[in-house]
Amino acid sequence: MGAGGADHARAMDPLRVLTQEYGFFTRQEALSAGFAGRDIARNVRTGYWVRFRRGSYSFGDEWGALSPVGRHRVRSNAVMRSLGDAVALSHVSGCVRHELEVWGLPLGRVHVTRLDGGPGRIEGDVVHHEGLALDADVVRLGGHLVLRPERCVLEAGSRANNEVALCLFESGLRHKKYDVDALRRRFVEMQFWPFMRHLQIPVRMADPRAGSIGESRGNWMFWVLGVPAPIPQFEIFHPNGELAGVTDWAWPERRLLGEFDGRIKYGRLLKPGQDPGDVVFEEKVREDLLRELSDCNMIRFIWSDYDDLATSRARLERKLGWAS
């Protein structure tokens, strides 16, 4: 069968209709579509289908194309199909459903909070949490109940370290799922819950101006190293008042600008017909212009710098003019 015929066959498969909408289909749906038990076993054995939890399947090509977050989202759909409105997605699963970045959080299990008074427990790939959930705590997204985003980030962050928690809090602020006041109010309400107390630092630090996880990690590194908090999203202007550019950070009193360099950032800047080398060259021209207009130096960080604090501290001390 040619490529066109294969594409047509996939389009005609009724189970593909289900995976396009929900990301999965059930064993019962496969049986209803005319597949016998031996067909199901053969399709899984050959990799044409993937059984990612008991009774839930996806096509191998579709599952293989999903990111870890995408797989977690599909797994959450399957869990909620099974449990219904007795639970709400919460913790990291609620964050995924609210479309937040969940860097540093484990995605192997789906987290739900019981709304029916059921006990907390771990059952296969599902973590059932107990906890008071008022009507105002619960929203419906994509047909499923989910706890509000400010509660999801706090509960997910409570089991993580403070760097991960700060990245999570700032993701919610960046995507306007809540504001700083709402996050802080909710923390005050939850601060005596288990595992919550350590979050007072990242809650206080959380800033909606952080433009990416890389910038949030930089903010945490500056705090750990005792570096004065920079001005985020610092604007630099031409003499005629026209905006020349915005840097991720700035310490203007020390005549220093800062940028996070990430592959994703360069990919976002890529224009039709450009390759990454073109973007790097344009970024160098931009940096030269911003340094000239501001009469400042520039320091750049990449992902690996956040795991080498001693070297990053030495670079910052040199650039900021501090004694080592």
CA distance 151 to 131: 11
Query: For the chain, what is the domain count?
Result: 3
Distances (CA, A) of 14 to 9, 20, 35, 40, 156: 10, 10, 11, 15, 37
Predicted pLDDT at 266? 39
Identify the residue with better confidence: 39 or 11.
Answer: 39
Same domain? 57 vs 74? no
Same domain flag for 246 and 181: no
pLDDT given at position 270? 41
Q: Is residue 2 very low, low, confident or very high in pLDDT (cuts 50, 70, 90)? A: very low
Percent of the chain with pLDDT over 90: 82
Instruction: Tell whether the model's pLDDT for residue 276 goes beyond 80.
Output: no
Owning domain of residue 290 = 213-320
> Do 44 and 56 meet the contact criterion of CB atoms below 8 Å apart?
no
Rounded to an integer, the average pLDDT of 69-83 is: 97
**pLDDT at residue 275 greater than cutoff 60:** no
- The answer to whether residues 113 and 186 belong to one domain is yes
Q: Which of 51, 161, 24, 176 is nearest to 106 (CA)?
A: 161
Task: Examine the fold and report which residue of 151, 182, 205 is the final residue of a domain before the chain moves on.
Answer: 205
pLDDT in tens, 177-234: 999 999 999 999 999 999 999 999 999 999 999 999 999 999 999 999 999 999 999 9
pLDDT at 269: 47
pLDDT-based confidence at 279, cuts 50/70/90?
low
Average pLDDT over residues 73-102: 97
Residue 50 sits in the same domain as residue 118: no
Full DSSP string of 196-239: -GGGHHHHHH--TT--SHHHHHHHHHHHHTTPPPPEEEEEEE-T
pLDDT at 288: 87
